Amino acid sequence: MPRRARIALSGVPLHVIQRGNNRQACFFADEDYRHYLDQLRLCAQRTGCAVHAYALMTNHVHLLLTPREADAAGRMMKLLGQRYVQHVNRLYRRSGTLWEGRFRSCIVQDDAYLLGCSRYIELNPVRAGMVSVPSAYRWSSYRVNALGETDSVIEPHPVYTALGGWMQERQAAYQALFIEALDTGLVSDIRRATNGNFALGNARFQAEVAAALGRRAMPGEPGRPRKQDKPISRDLF
């Protein structure tokens, strides 16, 4: 049975998650995280993707990016995955696969959904119990978006820049978003959309995406699944 085509549109943000094979580690030392980010910057530039947020966890990666062309994210992830696997195999004298099959993704509506997805990504280390506050984690974009650290990987999205007229104002507004806990309903929506390859947004956005692609862009109605529906993974991330 052919794989369900990934939903992607040029100029529409995309949340991407890629896991290590069998939930195994894909980062082993600081050098690995730095190498991945270096390659992420190069591969994003080469394929025409703007990266807005990221979190590199021990055994998986979260990215929020906007592709200039519909297939740009796929090309970027393929190139990035190949380059990083070569680094790991060479450094640790290993062979074989590192990543768990295809990456998962969902397109993201602008405004509140995009900022919510960015918060979801940068709060990943907190939810995992690795740190108590997002600023304590070295390998995410929080300290760039909220504290103004320099990072050539990150290209701010217009929704982020609209938070304030100057850099300090934007950073303060972004920090304020983290005062309240992330809505549990939004967390569930992000997980379901990313696992199921759906559109993350309101009903109108999902309908517009479906019309543009000529296919369903939202989960089906509760009940017995249709034959063409792929079961949604219950994995948490």
Q: Which residues contact 212 (CB under 8 A, 6 or more apart)?
A: 9
Per-residue confidence at 232, pLDDT binned at 50, 70, 90? very low
pLDDT above 80 (res 93): yes
Per-residue confidence at 2, pLDDT binned at 50, 70, 90? low
What is the 8-class DSSP label of residue 54? E
- pLDDT at residue 11 in the model: 95
Q: Are 123 and 182 in contact (CB under 8 A)?
A: yes
The model's pTM is 0.89
- Alpha-carbon distance of 221 to 41, in angstroms, equals 40
**Out of 1-10, 23-32, 52-61, 118-127, least confident range:** 1-10
Nearest to 81 by CA among 143, 161, 17, 24: 17
Pick the CATH number of 14-201 from 3.40.50.300, 2.40.50.140, 3.30.450.90, 3.30.70.1290: 3.30.70.1290
At position 59, the amino acid (one-letter code) is: N
- Alpha-carbon distance of 108 to 198, in angstroms, equals 9
- Residue 130 has φ and ψ, to the nearest 5°, of -80, -30
3-state SS class at 85: helix
Whole-Å CA distances, 229 to 3, 37, 61, 222:
11, 35, 26, 12
User: pLDDT tens-digit profile of 18-35?
Assistant: 999 988 999 999 999 999
- Alpha-carbon distance of 209 to 70, in angstroms, equals 13
**What is the torsional sign of CA 225, 236, 110, 43?**
negative
C-alpha 74: how far from chain center:
13
- pLDDT at residue 216 in the model: 83
Can you tell me the mean pLDDT for 105-115? Answer: 93
Per-residue confidence at 3, pLDDT binned at 50, 70, 90? low
The HSE-up count of residue 145 (CA atoms within 13 Å, CB side) is 34
